[in-house]
Each structure stands twice: as C-alpha cells, then as structure tokens.
A and B are shown apart, each in its own frame.
Chain A
Amino acid sequence: MIPGTFEYHRPGSLDEAVTLLTKFGDEGRMIAGGHSLVPMMKLRLAVPEHLIDLGHVESLQGIEITGQSIEIGAMTTQHDLIASDSLVETCPLLREAALTIADPQVRYRGTIGGNVANGDPGNDMPAVMQSLGASYVLHGPSGTRQVAARAFYEAAYFTAREDDEILTAINIPVPAPGHGFAYEKLKRKVGDYAIAAAAVVLTMDGGTCDSAAIALTNVGDTPIHAEAMGESLVGTAVDDGAIAKAVAAAKAAASPAADLRGPRDYRAHAAGVMAGRAIKRALARVKT
C-alpha cells in the first residue's frame, strides 16, 4: 500500500504543465484530485516517476454559463458541481449524478476533469456527458481541439486524448428549458461503482418526445451511448411500449463483464432496468 518512488511537480500555468508533460513523456502523469490515480499507485498498478499536479493551474478552475453553453474547468471538484446553484438551475442532471459518486470526502477532492479523462468505465460522469452531448477541450503542444464525449472513449483507459494533452474544460450545450433528466445508478453500497447506471435527457413537445439521449455506465469497456436507445423514444408519447423498446435497446447495447457485482446477464438486465427507470423519472420531470 505504498507507492513507488516519484518526483512531484507543481506547475503554475497550463503552458508549464504541457512542457513538463512533453518533457517526461511516458514517465510523467497528471494528478488532479488523485482519487482514481493514488489508489492505483498504492497498489503499484501505476508507477509514474513524475507526478504533475494540476491543482495550481488557475485557468483549469471554475464554472461559466454563457448563453447557450456551460463551460466547466477540469479542476472543478464534484463537490463544486453539487454546490453550484446556477449549474443546478441550468443542468440539474450534473448534481444528481455527482451525488451518486462515492462519498463527500471523495467528492471534495475528485475533479470532473479527472473523472472524464480517466477512462475507467466505472466512472459516472462520462455517460452523463454523453447524454448531454458535451465535448471536451484538449490542450497540447500543438494547440487546442475539442472532442465530443460521444467520440472520446475507445476502450478501458484508452481515450482520444494524446499523452501530452491536458483536458482543460468540458463544454455542455445548455439543455432546453423544461427538459426531463435522470441518472439511475444501481450499486451495492456507498462508494461503489455502478452495477449498472443510465443517464437520460429528453424533451417533449406537447405529448410527443422530440429528443432523447440515453447513455450507460459500467456495462462495457467504455460508457455506452447508443443512438438506438434514444431514437426509439423520439416521436412517441414515451408510453410503456416505447419505453420497453428503449429498454430492450439498452440491454442489447450493454456488454458488461462478470465481476463481483454480478454475472453478465444480471448486469445487462440491470442496465435495462436502470434505463427504464431513468426514462420514467425523466418524463415525470418534463415541464411544459
């Protein structure tokens, strides 16, 4: 339970951080809240020789809501998300999801940037970001680019981010006023990663659904956003029949591994149950 030897660096600016990253290459690793990385280091599953602490890079902090867009700095903690009233007003799904992560102590340290950049299929925020249609701002030696959350995850711990890029911020299009939302997470206990979880964002026009996005957590190598799940709701009244179709699509999209949370069939089934419950709750929350 003692990490290997490492050197600790604390850059004061983004450029300095990028320089260090470039310099150390494979031997360097960013640390944000440390609540995914440090446990791995203590088990010596990760043995970085240089730790580059992003905690003092001012430009990575803060939540900004402007017109049609929400920008959240990578070093914003999960607690900050929960505590931000303006964020809760514009995009309440983030608080609901953040509250299912671990416990207050972890949420005080763990950051949104670390959560989405980590690439662990157990992390909750990636599916949430996919359901919201968010994109990530990546900054590296050759400049800045944006990648959609739906296109970011390649395999467990593999993402579209290059090793020398820093995820600086998350951009979320402001969801339509009155939208329905829900994050349903089935877990064994506080502090557990999901057996299965589902994020749902939908809008209704009169009695008809005109947009729906569903994404799943921890039932595959990556978070799963399947167009089919949302599309089966669009144009319907989100009645039992439509929900059943979406649930079937969610179950079909899920391909969980067996672990101590349960065998594959159970976890895929649970993904369907979570999706169904999230849809119903999202629908009930729609304001017209």
Chain B
Amino acid sequence: MSDASEMTLEQREATIGGIGCARRRKEDVRFIQGKGNYVDDVKLPGQVFGDFVRSPHAHARIKSIDTEKALAVPGVLAVLTANDLKPLNLHWMPTLAGDSQAVLADEKVHFQNQEVAFVIGEDRYAVSDGVQAVEIDYEDLPVLVDPKQALAKDAPVLREDAAAKDDVGQGPRKHPNHIFNWDVGDKGATDKAFAGAAVTVKEDVLYQRVHPCPLEPCGCVASMDKITGELTVYGTFQAPHVVRTIVSLIAGLPEHKIRVIAPDIGGGFGNKVGAYPGYVCSVVGTIVLGRPVKWVENRIDNISTTAFARDYHMTGELAADEDGRITGLRVYVLADHGAFNAHAQPTKWPAGLFSIVTGSYDIPAAHVSVDGVYTNKAPGGVAYRCSFRVTEASYLIERMIDVLAQKVGLDKAEIRARNFIKPEQFPYTSCLGWDYDSGDYPRALAKVLDAVDYKGLREEQAEKRERGELMGIGIATFTEIVGAGPSRNCDILGIGMFDSCEIRVHPTGSAIARLGTKSQGQGHETTYAQIIATELGLPSDDIAVEEGDTDTAPYGLGTYGSRSTPVAGAAAAHAARKIRAKAQKIAAHMLEVAEGDLEWEIDRFKVKGLPEKVATMKQIAFAAYQSLPEGMEPGLEAVNYYDPPNFTYPFGAYLCVVDVDRLTGEVKVRRFYALDDCGTRINPMIIEGQVHGGLTEAFAIAMGQELIFDETGNIQGASLMDYFVPTAVETPVWETGHTVTPSPHHPIGAKGVGESPNVGGVSAFSNAVVDAFAHLDVTHMPMPHTPWRVWKQCEALGIGE
C-alpha cells in the first residue's frame, strides 16, 4: 500500500477525486455495457402483465363496457373498469395539484387515449388481444381543444364531476372549465409605469404543448405479498418517497408496508414525477390476483397520455424609457392544463415559479395573472427539464426584451446590458418577491460576445442582408430559480421540500451514502461521491451512492427542478461535516492533543505546528470502530435533512447563429455558444454533458417538438416518426464556457445546472430565428420553427419564391 504521507498535496487531491475533478461517471460502466437495471428488466416469479383499453374519442360518454369477449381470450386473467375500482374508492385519484383524476374513465372520457379499462393477462400477447376484444359503446360529446374557447359562455362543460365545486385545489374559479387564477405583483404600480411610458411593446407568445419524451417510457411492477401484507412497487419514479406516501394515502396501506423502488431510470425530464393510472391499476391488480403485475407504456402511450409540458398562451407587455430601460412588465397567461389539473408544482404554486419572469433584469414594477383551464387533452404541465414554469417565464422575458430592442432600435446585447441587475445589487430582491442569491450578468455576457466576435457577426449579418440572405443572431441572458425549496414556501401535499443524505463510513475507510433524490441519468453516483470525498477526505472511488429504495434511503422529495445538488448535495455536505466533526474528536484522542490543536488538510487532521503528527481519515475510520475516546459512541455515520434557506439562481449567457434557407424554410444552426454559471463546479465533465443534453432538448423544442390536436381532439404525430427527437445528425455542435459565482447560502456554493441549457437554449434559438427577419420588421414567430412555418413567414414577406 502506498503511503499517503509520501504523496504531494496535489497527488493527495488527485487521489481524493473530489469537487472540481472531471472523473468519469461511475454509472456508465453498467450503462454502456447494456447492464443497467430498468423497470422492464425487473422480472418477478409469477409476474403477469397489464395494459389499457384507451379511448379513441377526446370527449364522450361511456354508454357500456362489455368485457366478456376479452375475458374469453386465452391467457387473459382480469379486466378492470371504473366500476371494479369504485368499491375500493380507487376509480379516481388525487393529483399533486389538489384536483382529482380518473384512474379508469368513470362514465365519461375526457381526452383521446384516456385509460378506460385495464386488461391483465399471462403475457403481453394475450393482453394485447384482450385489449382489442373489450367492447365499449361511446356517445360523442362536443370537444374543447382551444383553451381560448374554454371560458366561453357556451363552452361544453368538461368536468361534470367538478362543475359545482368553487375550488379544485388551487383557488377560486369563475367558470366550470376554469381551474384557478393566480395573480402576483403590484398592478397599480405596473399600470402607472405603462401609463407614463415613452415606449411600450406587446406580443402574444405561445409556448407550445410539448412532451419530455424520455427514451424509457413510464412503467412499474407492483407485487403484493399476501402473507406479509407488504406491497413492493418498482417504477420509473423521479420521487420514490412521494410515490410511497401517495400510495399509502390512496390505498390506505400503512407506509411501512409499502416499499417503493426506483431502479435505473432512462431519462425523466419531469415526465416521471407524477402518479399515473398505470401505477394504481397495477397495484390493484396485484392485490386482486396475488401475482406481480407489470405495466410498461409504449411510445404512443407515453407521448399521448403521460405528462406533457408548457402549453402556456402568454401575452407579454413591456414599458420602457427612450433608452430602452424597462420600467414595467405585464404578463397574462392562459394555461392549458388538459382534462385534469395534474401539473407537478409545489402545491401552493399554481403557476410554479413563473414569477421569476423578470429574469436577469432590474424591473421596478411587474404584474402577472395566470388562468388555468381545462381542455380535452391529456393532463400534465410538468417542468420539462426546467424548474417549475421557469422555462415559460424565461422564454417570455427573453423574447420580449428582443421585441423592445427592435422597437427602440437598440442592439440586442446592449439592451440586456442596460437592464441587467448589477453585480453590486446582489443579494437582490425582485419586484415579484424573489431573493436572488448571487450573479454577475455583465461579465457573463461580455465573455460570450468576446468569444464569438459579436461585432464581426453583426457586420457579416449586415452584408448578408444586403444580398438578400437571412442570418440571425439570438441572445439569451437567463436567470433560473432552482433547488426547491425552502419549506416555508414549498411543499408537496404538505411535505416540505427538504432533501436528505445519510452517510456511513466503513472501518477500512470506504463509505456508503444514501440520498432522498433519484438520478435519471444525471450522474448522481459520481457527483455526490465527489462532494463527500472533498468533505471527508476519502477517495470518491471508495464512496458508493445509493438512491431510489424507500426502505433504505432517507426520506426526500426526489429529483426534478435542478434540486438534487442544491438540496440533497447540501445535505451530503452537511452530513459529511457532522462525520468530520466526530472524526476530529477521534483524531484528537489518537494524537493525544486537544481538538482545537488540529487542522484539516485534504484527507487528514494535522497537529498545528507539528506537520508530521497526523491522523488520516482512513486511520480515523478504523479507530471509530475500535479505539474511541471515553464515552463516545462507536461508528462513523451521520444523517442530514436539509431545508434550504433560499433557492439558488444559476444564470447564463447563450448566443446562437443561424442561417435560414428562404426557399425551404430550413434553419441551420451555424454556431451555438453557451456560457453557464452554476456556482461551484463539482464535475466539469458532467456539467458539460448536462449542458450538451439540455441544449439538444432545447433545440428539439424550439425547432420541432409540438403536440398537435385536430379539431375533434385527435392527437397528431404521437410517435417518433413525427415527434422530433434529434439525432446526432441534426444536433448542432455546442461550444461551452463558464464563469463561477458561488451561491453564498449553499454549503459548497453550488447552484444546479441540469436544466439551465433548456431554459436558456429555447430562447436563444427562437431569438436567432426571429432576428434573421428583424430587418423586415418581424418581431415574433411562433415555435416550433419548423421548415414550413419559417417558409410561411418568408412567403408572407414575399421572399419565399
């Protein structure tokens, strides 16, 4: 064994592989060999399968369901309908937003592909034949697709079950199709700013309905042990503990009799936060049959029924002085929530953290009003790779500031610089009430402009315009709000949004850490180990990280909204610090000095002034199980539940250059530079990977993703033939950069980064496309910027031929 004491400080740092180290991802060893363990890999003895009969109609009354022929299909074991679930009171389930959702359609269907019956059989083939054999008689009802028609006097009433309620969970309603109104900001001050403004601009900005479309769709295996009465549910859960609590509440089983396990997850992006009818039906199935029941969606099921994102119909208005300094912001949002209000936000926030809409800018007055409505579409409204409704907010302000720049004739970089919150203003309280922790926006933007030779690009653009060519430069200088969140303002179903970490150091100096979050590809096994390595002075290679099993992991609220590092990462640092504090006492005992005589250095305690008198963490670990100071408990472990004092506010400056083919409408991304500031950087390689992935998804959203419905509510293009998931061929080349502005309130100064590129990216792409047409007085173009839409713009301008 090489003696650590002979190593240089640098070598010891390198051995630890802690914060700042670009070590390879631990989990990839199994993933790249195809040895991950996903839900569909779970195979339990006696396991059977379930699948849904889905409604072909978007809005219809169910007149009858005949299951006889299905039950006669060889291998079919059971067919569940709402009537079978009624005696258990499981035909409806509560949503995270305080509404309820039909598990199996109860008398009515509210969207196409809604779950109507659940067929269980010996294998997938029998089930598939059984699904075809269920006979259902529907009576069509008028369909409501356009949210703008939802509140009309003569609009069809969708939710007869809720029509008489004056609150479905998120505030007062004014129409049977109305879910809530959410109003924030100072309306009086905002109106005043607009009344006296030198310049005002207004634009309708739709952030279209999209779907996170993780590569692995949703699924579960539910298994009831009839002898012990214990229920185990394996599933694609971004928040396994929350799922267990929900199952306990709706199934009436005590929590200790329920074990929820999230195995490896193939991407979540918000799609795997909620509870779906498939989970409930599988649980009922296993209770009824006494055999494990597996349900796994196919792609069409996933895209057309499990949680979508966005669908925010926004109107933005800015007031400014002649120099383009913003004096007021007004936003109205019509939010299409689909047939059930099942969006995943902290419970008290019907529009999530949308009020971050003032962005990176020092705006003195703002007012936001959001109306949520029901339509005949699938429920959802999750944060697709973003913190709660932050992408919608960021898209709006980043679009609007460009609109304003064009109106006052200012350069789009310059207008941002003029309106930035200044570095010396931090900590900064926005007019809508958020306490920004830290930031240096001018430095980030300046660095990007410099890296891409912004001046040169604008000159090239001017020349191209002379020649009738279309080139666009898009900028986004976004600020996120992540790490939900402080329990004083964030909870889910009354549970504060803390997170947790439990660390146990083994006698030989390796360790295991368990956390309340759940990686879906973010690399938690690698990143958390690095945080703990730095705090504890043990090599990150020797620290195992476990998540996702509610029987072993401490209670946590899961992974979404970039909360893992800001919240659970902080818990990891605090738990490690508790251990180090105990280790210091043990070291003092080992070295026969007072605790205060010791100082910490990378992987050991040294006696001040006597550098050769040391106790390494490895030695201390052993001592913790054998030679302790009088009266000290043996062992070396700690747990921390971390309730963050504030959110963190990552930011970035992105720049995108596009060339537009005016004859085909194709947009080619020539260059994309992303500068991110996520505070302290734990693993630069993982950060870069997260940025690449997030930019690719942002590219997909801005350029092609869209859930489209025809006038009778039929969903169009719900498969990968049409739904745009870019391959390496379509994906642009990404250039990345960074600045580091640590969060002052986070124990290691880290802010979270997984979602920034989606938040900033979408605006940068969209702004670039519009900028290509800015000299032709175009101020806005609807997303996604597909070739035909862009060509339609060219045609309208007379340059499409």
Contacts and interface: CB of A to CB of B under 8 A. Distances in A.
Partners in one complex: yes
B785 to A, nearest CB: 12
A51 B300 CA distance: 26
Interface in B223-251: none
A273 B800 CA distance: 10
Most chain A CB within 10 A, of B124, B704, B708, B721, is at B721
B100 interface: no
A270 B664 contact: yes
A145 interface: no
Contact of A190 (B125, B722, B730): B730
A281 to B, nearest CB: 15
A260 B125 contact: no
A23 interface: no
Contacts of B125: 2, 5
A269 B800 contact: yes
B730 A266 contact: no
Contact of B786 (A44, A103, A262): A262
Contacts of A188: 704, 724, 786-787
Contact of B724 (A2, A4, A189, A270): A189
Given A2-B128, A260-B722, A262-B786, A190 B791 contact: no
B298 A266 contact: no
Given A44-B132, A188-B724, A190-B727, A260 B717 contact: yes
Given A2-B124, A189-B704, A262 B298 contact: no
Contacts of A267: 788
Q: Is the interface of B mostly helix, strand, loop or mixed?
A: loop
Contacts of A103: 727
Interface string B762-801: 0000000000000000000000001110011000000011
A266 B792 contact: yes
B716 A260 contact: yes
A189 B132 contact: no
A269 B788 CA distance: 10
B663 interface: yes
A189 B787 contact: no
A195 interface: yes
B152 interface: no
Given A190-B730, A266-B791, A270-B664, 16 more contacts: A1-B299, A2-B124, A186-B664, A188-B786, A189-B704, A189-B726, A189-B729, A189-B730, A260-B717, A266-B787, A266-B788, A266-B792, A269-B791, A269-B800, A270-B787, A270-B791
B298 A1 contact: yes
Interface of B: 124-125, 128-129, 132, 298-300, 663-666, 704, 708, 716-717, 721-722, 724, 726-727, 729-730, 786-788, 791-792, 800-801
Nearest to B722: A260
Contacts of B730: 189-190
Given A2-B124, A190-B727, A270-B664, A195 B787 contact: yes
A263 interface: yes
A164 B473 CA distance: 59
A254 to B, nearest CB: 15
Given A2-B128, A189-B704, A270-B664, A263 B726 contact: no
A51 to B, nearest CB: 16
30 contacts: A1-B300, A2-B128, A4-B129, A5-B129, A44-B132, A186-B666, A186-B787, A188-B704, A188-B787, A189-B724, A189-B727, A189-B730, A190-B727, A191-B727, A192-B721, A195-B787, A195-B788, A260-B708, A262-B786, A262-B787, A262-B788, A262-B791, A263-B788, A266-B665, A266-B792, A269-B801, A270-B787, A270-B791, A273-B663, A273-B664
Contacts of B800: 269
A195 B666 CA distance: 12
A192 B720 CA distance: 10
